[in-house]
Structure 1
Amino acid sequence: MPSNNSQHPRFVLLDGLRGIAALFIIQRHAPSLLGDELPSSYLGVDLFFALSGFVLAHAYGAAIADQWISALAFMKMRLFRLYPLYGLALFLMTTFFITLWLSNVPTPLDDLHRPIDLQELAIALVTGLLFIPAPFSLTLNGALFLVHPAWSLFNELVANIVYGLWGARARTKHLLIVVAVSAVVLVFAAAEFGRLHAGFRWSEMHAGMARVFFSFFVGVLIYRLRSRLPKVQPLVAIGCLAFVILILAFPTPKPLKAYFDLFVVVFCWPGLLLVASRCVPDPVTGKISAFLGTASYAVYVLHVPLLAWTEHLLPHITDSRAIPYAGLVLMAAITAVSWYVTVHMDQPLQRWFKNRLRRPQVFRPISDSGSTR
């Protein structure tokens, strides 16, 4: 997820990588509009985690390590960074299911198309407001959150807590241990599920946590190592963006899926992040990346309710003759709406909250001790 700290320069190309990955997530969740899901598109979530670790280490790592920002203040900033747009998505999903219930229409987001259970909806709304998983998989959508992508946001918040309390001050060798242990769990999860598309149900929680802890702390480590690497030419930026598209659309045979997923998460995404973090794109690529990066979080968290409402209000949009053209138009519309909502609603709220957290009692040094890195 993008940083909310505007005092630090942006790694613009990383914004572009995140934005492209978000578009592939839309494609994955809109088969009735865009055709069959691309086989590796879910690996965009692991790229999100790695980018988040890098960006948060850049924006907050030194301040947390030097105790200018407490772990509590850091988590307040993370929650407020995620919550406004997540709250909007939660509202849209709740009203969507209530509308279906009033119309006596079963949920289209569950394979069994079961009727809307208001008691379950109430439980899911309460747990969703608290940003914690429901105690059971919801029949509403087969997930743990009303806003389905929120499973990854919850997992990332767990990693953020560990980073704020310990990771920002931890020595590199200790972070390597976390990464190594997570990699072992990833291997077992890939063998168990036949791929790394797991983590959004209680029975898969170990896989989801391994995905976030591995990629997030790899991102932190790459940030610490970035200055030792040479800068690369702007032309490489186009190659980085194309590489993400290639990986997320790659048609991997099912018997090789677990091996491919592990290779991408353990080697490809870290290597891509190493190169992209040392590349300043040309002006045109930079503007495209900045636009996609600005919209990316809203795209990720709002696309499911926007898709659901669109298909409910415009049922003919799923006509086979309109695929994939209507879906491509809708994808562009979701991206544009996400950019607008981010710039005109979310960013002003972020500035307001950040100004409140600049008060001396929040940002004063806790002690005179420096970083242990």
Structure 2
Amino acid sequence: MQPQASKPHFPILDGLRGVAAILVVIFHLFEAVFPVPKDLPLHHGYLAVDFFFLLSGFVVGYAYDDRWGKMSIKQFFKIRLVRLHPLVVLGVVIGLIAFLLDPYTAKEFNAVFVLKIIGAVVLGMFILPAPDIRGWNETHPLNGPTWSLLQEYIANILYALFGRKLSNTALWIVVIISAIALTATAVWRGDVGTGWAYDTFWIAFVRMLFPFSAGLLLFRSGKRIQLPLAFLLCSIALTLLFALPTFSWNGWYEAAVIIFVFPVIVAAGAGGKLGGAWEKVCKFCGDISYPIYILHYPFIYVYTAWVYVEKPKQSEIIPVAAGLFVLFIVLAYAALKLFDEPVRNWLRKRLLQK
């Protein structure tokens, strides 16, 4: 199959994906220093993941809904693997190196532990839940954020098998039922900031199903909002939504943000116009969005362990956190240009062209 020429992107949505990725990185840098959630400056930073899922539903619908007459399910899966998986593999490799070299995390290299590490590497390469090797009860212990990529893969499988065939009426039913499940879960827990651990693994699916389905429905509905300075205003909105304090009705708040506010932001991003320097900013943010999200967390493990073990002063933490933030941006761009794009180009020639 000769791949179809890529469609024009929504540059503002690319930019907003980058803004959300940067905010979640900042959230993780804060998280090590503020272990009590109510003290954390970006209290709701994990909502970036739910925003990613909604964006993904919108973009997948845009990119593939009109291609099914010329594309098989197998070809769709190949396209998505080529797009997503190279950085998954790189993230596991970086995660393994960071874990082995981490001087602050205790490790006992007996036979069982070595087998767990091997299992974490092998299963991590296939984006599957792996044995816990650091005591955090994580499903993906070498690179925590990979839990959300597993849900992204599940969303793509559901879309290819069922979602692409659903009428808008049926999709509305899925959206409404999944919104009720999301709200009930958020209110029961008081937040949605989980899904990465074995004891809350089921919540990951709940967090994915509504926003991905809603994003797909939003695309098919054709709803767009014309908003001046859409990128700037939507970026400010995301920052404020993530930074608001926790409340006694926190679960209701987070569910409302995901169900009602995020679709409005995506509709405004899809309907907005760009030009000049803003277009370059959005392109850069979009370029680094996936690599910075999927590659930063192995370093967060070491940074967090350092904070917990050494108990450094704030004056020592600030330059380290700032340096890591710069490193993450440089690493993301370098990984994109030196690894991700070359590997994807090679895979396209091998897997997507006859």
Give the TM-score taking structure 1 as reference length: 0.83
Work out whether residues 15 and 231 of structure 2, in 8 Å CA contact, stay in contact via their aligned partners in 1. Answer: no
Which residue of 84, 87, 104 corresponds with 2:86?
A: 84
- Residue aligning to 1:39: 43
Gaps of 5+ in 2: 35-39
Whole-Å separation in 1 of the counterparts to 2:261 and 2:351: 37
Instruction: State the match for 2:243 in structure 1.
Output: 249
Q: Name the stretch that deviates more: 345-354 or 213-222.
A: 345-354
1:73 to 66, 72, 75: 75
Q: Is the 8 A contact 1:33 1:317 kept in 2?
A: no
Q: Find the counterpart in structure 2 of residue 170 from structure 1.
A: 166
Aligned to 1:93: 95
Residue of structure 2 in register with 1:268 after alignment: 261
In the alignment, residue 346 of structure 1 is paired with which amino acid? Answer: D
Q: Secondary structure at the match of 1:330?
A: helix
TM-superposed deviation, 1:5: 7.8
Following superposition, the deviation at residue 205 of structure 1 comes to 2.7
- For 1:349 and 1:22, locate their aligned partners in 2 and report how far apart those are by CA, in whole Å: 22
> What secondary structure is seen at the aligned counterpart in 2 of 1:77?
helix
CA RMSD of aligned residues (A): 2.7
The alpha-carbon deviation at position 138 of structure 1 amounts to: 4.6
* Secondary structure of the structure 2 residue equivalent to 1:143: coil
The answer to whether the 8 Å contact 2:175/2:210 transfers is yes
Q: Identical aligned pairs, as a percentage?
A: 27
Q: Give the C-alpha shift of residue 295 in structure 1.
A: 0.3
Correspondence for 2:118: 122
- Would you say 1:326 and 2:330 are equivalent positions? no
CA shift digits 1:186-216 (9 cap, x unpaired): 1221133111112112332332112111101
Assess, with a 3 A threshold, how the Cα gap between structure 1 residues 355 and 310 changes in structure 2: closer, same or farther.
same
Task: Count matched residues.
Answer: 342
User: Counterpart in 2 of 1:214?
Assistant: 210
TM-aligned CA distance change 1:5 to 1:45, over 3 Å: farther
Letter in 2 for 1:119: L
**How is 1:353-372 mapped onto 2 (pairs within 5 angstroms)?**
353-359=347-353
CA distance in 2, matches of 1:303, 1:221: 31
Using a 3 Å threshold, how does the CA distance of structure 1 residues 317 and 74 change in structure 2: closer, same or farther?
Answer: farther
Give per-residue Cα distances to partners, 1:82-106, cap 9 Å, x unaligned.
Answer: 2211111111111222334xx6x53
Confirm or deny: 8 A CA contact 1:295 1:338 kept in the other structure: yes
The range that moved more, 20-29 or 255-264, is 20-29
Q: Is the 8 A contact 2:50 2:208 kept in 1?
A: yes
Shift, 1:34, TM fit: 6.7
Q: How much has 1:21 moved relative to structure 2?
A: 1.0
Q: Would the aligned equivalents of 1:295 and 1:342 in 2 still touch at CA under 8 Å?
A: yes
Equivalent AA in structure 2 for residue 349 of structure 1: V
Correspondence for 1:366? none
Structure 1 residues 1-373: aligned runs within 5 Å: 7-31=6-30, 36=40, 38-64=42-68, 66=69, 68-100=70-102, 106-107=105-106, 117-134=113-130, 137-145=132-140, 146-226=142-222, 229=224, 231-233=226-228, 235-253=229-247, 255-308=248-301, 319-359=313-353
In structure 1, runs of 5+ residues without a counterpart are 108-113, 361-373
SS of aligned partner of 1:29: helix
Instruction: Go from structure 1 to structure 2 and tell me whether the alpha carbon gap of 1:285 and 1:139 turns closer, same or farther (over 3 Å shift).
Output: same
Q: Is the 8 A contact 2:155 2:212 kept in 1?
A: yes
| Shift in Å, 1:177 | 1.6
**1:219 to partner: Cα distance:** 0.9
Cα distance change on mapping 1:34 and 1:243 into 2, 3 Å? farther
| AA matched with 2:339 | M
TM-score between the two structures when normalised by the length of structure 2: 0.87
